[in-house]
Structure 1
Amino acid sequence: MSKSNALVNGLAGAGGGIVAQIITYPLQTVNTRQQTERIAKKSAVISDALVSSSAGGTFMQLLQVIRSDGWGGLYSGLKPSLLGTAASQGIYYYFYQVFKNKAEAIAVSRKKRGRGDGTVGMFSWLVVAAIAGSFNVLLTNPIWVLVTRMQTHTQAEKKIMEAKRDAILREANESGLRDLSPFQDKLVELNSTKAHPYGTLHAAQEVYCEAGIQGFWKGIIPTLIMVCNPSIQFMIYESSLKYLRAKRTANKSGFKNVTALEIFLLGALAKLGATVSTYPLLVVKSRLQAKQEIGKNNALRYTGTLDAIIKMIRYEGLPGFYKGMSTKIVQSVFAASVLFMIKEELVKAFTILAVGSRKVLLNKVE
Structure 2
Amino acid sequence: MSSALANGLAGAGGGLIAQILTYPLQAVNTRQQTERVVKKGINDHHGTSPSKQQRPGGTIVQLFQVIKTEGWGGLYSGLKPSLFGTVASMGVYYYFYQVFKNKAELIAATRKGRGLGDGNVGMISWLAVAAISGSLNVLLTNPIWVLVTRMQTQTQAERNIMERKREALQREASENSAIASTLQDKLVELELLKPKPYGTLQAAAEIYNEAGIRGFWKGIIPTLIMVCNPSIQFMIYETSLRSLKEKRTTNKHGVKQITALEVFFLGAVAKLGATVVTYPLLVVKSRLQAKQDIGNNVSLRYSGTVDAIVKMIQYEGLLGFYKGMSTKIVQSVFAASVLFMVKEELVKAITVLADKTRKIRLNALR
TM range (shorter): over 0.9
Partner of 2:65: 64
Partner of 1:85: 86
Quote the Cα distance in structure 2 between the aligned partners of 1:32 and 1:347.
31
Quote the Cα distance in structure 1 between the aligned partners of 2:156 and 2:197.
14
Q: Which moved more, 1:249-258 or 1:299-308?
A: 249-258
How big is the shift at 1:170? 2.5
Quote the Cα distance in structure 1 between the aligned partners of 2:314 and 2:147.
28
Q: What SS does structure 2 have at the residue aligned with 1:178?
A: helix
Quote the Cα distance in structure 2 between the aligned partners of 1:179 and 1:199.
38
Q: Which whole-Å deviations, capped at 9, do the CAs of 1:61-117 have from their partners, x for residues lacking one? A: 110110010011110000000000000000000000000001011111111111111
Q: What SS does structure 1 have at the residue aligned with 2:178?
A: coil
Work out which of the residue numbers 8, 20, 23 in structure 2 matches 1:22.
20
Matched, 1:229 2:229: yes
Partner of 1:326: 326
Q: What SS does structure 2 have at the residue aligned with 1:358?
A: helix
Partner of 2:359: 359
How big is the shift at 1:187? 2.3
How big is the shift at 1:171? 2.7
- Kindly report which structure 2 residues correspond to 1:31-50, keeping only aligned pairs within 5 A, or say none: 31-42=29-40
Quote the Cα distance in structure 2 between the aligned partners of 1:96 and 1:14.
13
Q: Which whole-Å deviations, capped at 9, do the CAs of 1:41-63 have from their partners, x for residues lacking one? A: 2399x977x84xxxxx2111110
Q: Which residue identity lines up with residue 164 of structure 1 in the other structure?
A: K
Q: What SS does structure 2 have at the residue aligned with 1:145?
A: helix
Partner of 1:246: 246
* 8 Å CA contact retained: 2:159, 2:195: no
* 8 Å CA contact retained: 2:173, 2:180: yes
Q: Which residue identity lines up with residue 155 of structure 1 in the other structure?
A: Q
* 8 Å CA contact retained: 2:219, 2:285: yes
- Kindly report which structure 2 residues correspond to 1:93-132, keeping only aligned pairs within 5 A, or say none: 93-132=94-133
Quote the Cα distance in structure 2 between the aligned partners of 1:295 and 1:78.
28
- Kindly report which structure 2 residues correspond to 1:249-288, keeping only aligned pairs within 5 A, or say none: 249-253=249-253, 255-288=255-288
* 8 Å CA contact retained: 2:155, 2:197: no
Quote the Cα distance in structure 1 between the aligned partners of 2:209 and 2:319.
33
Q: Which residue identity lines up with residue 248 of structure 2 in the other structure?
A: R
Quote the Cα distance in structure 2 between the aligned partners of 1:47 and 1:161.
17
Quote the Cα distance in structure 1 between the aligned partners of 2:193 and 2:54.
30
Partner of 1:143: 144
* 8 Å CA contact retained: 2:174, 2:180: no
Q: What TM-score comes out, normalization by structure 1 length?
A: 0.93
Quote the Cα distance in structure 2 between the aligned partners of 1:105 and 1:261.
30
How big is the shift at 1:297? 1.3
Quote the Cα distance in structure 2 between the aligned partners of 1:112 and 1:207.
54
Q: Which residue identity lines up with residue 11 of structure 2 in the other structure?
A: G
How big is the shift at 1:193? 4.0
Partner of 2:47: none
Q: Which runs of 5+ in 2 are unaligned?
A: 42-50
Q: Which runs of 5+ in 1 are unaligned?
A: 52-56
How big is the shift at 1:294? 2.9
Partner of 1:10: 8
Quote the Cα distance in structure 1 between the aligned partners of 2:86 and 2:193.
35
* 8 Å CA contact retained: 2:155, 2:196: no
Partner of 2:45: none
- Kindly report which structure 2 residues correspond to 1:287-302, keeping only aligned pairs within 5 A, or say none: 287-302=287-302
How big is the shift at 1:222? 0.4
Q: How has the CA–CA distance of structure 1 residues 289 and 352 changed in structure 2, closer, same or farther, with 3 Å as cutoff?
A: same
Q: Which whole-Å deviations, capped at 9, do the CAs of 1:13-49 have from their partners, x for residues lacking one? A: 00000000000000001100100011112399x977x
How big is the shift at 1:195? 4.2
- Kindly report which structure 2 residues correspond to 1:144-183, keeping only aligned pairs within 5 A, or say none: 144-174=145-175, 176-183=176-183
Quote the Cα distance in structure 2 between the aligned partners of 1:235 and 1:62.
33
Quote the Cα distance in structure 1 between the aligned partners of 2:246 and 2:197.
55
* 8 Å CA contact retained: 2:313, 2:320: yes
How big is the shift at 1:194? 5.3
Q: What TM-score comes out, normalization by structure 2 length?
A: 0.93
Q: Which whole-Å deviations, capped at 9, do the CAs of 1:283-330 have from their partners, x for residues lacking one? A: 000000000123211001111100000000000001100000000000
Quote the Cα distance in structure 1 between the aligned partners of 2:298 and 2:123.
44
Quote the Cα distance in structure 1 between the aligned partners of 2:74 and 2:265.
31
Quote the Cα distance in structure 2 between the aligned partners of 1:122 and 1:76.
39
Partner of 1:54: none
Q: How has the CA–CA distance of structure 1 residues 197 and 42 changed in structure 2, closer, same or farther, with 3 Å as cutoff?
A: closer
Q: What SS does structure 2 have at the residue aligned with 1:42?
A: coil
Quote the Cα distance in structure 2 between the aligned partners of 1:187 and 1:356.
69
Identity percentage of aligned residues = 74
Aligned length: 356
Q: Which moved more, 1:178-187 or 1:75-84?
A: 178-187
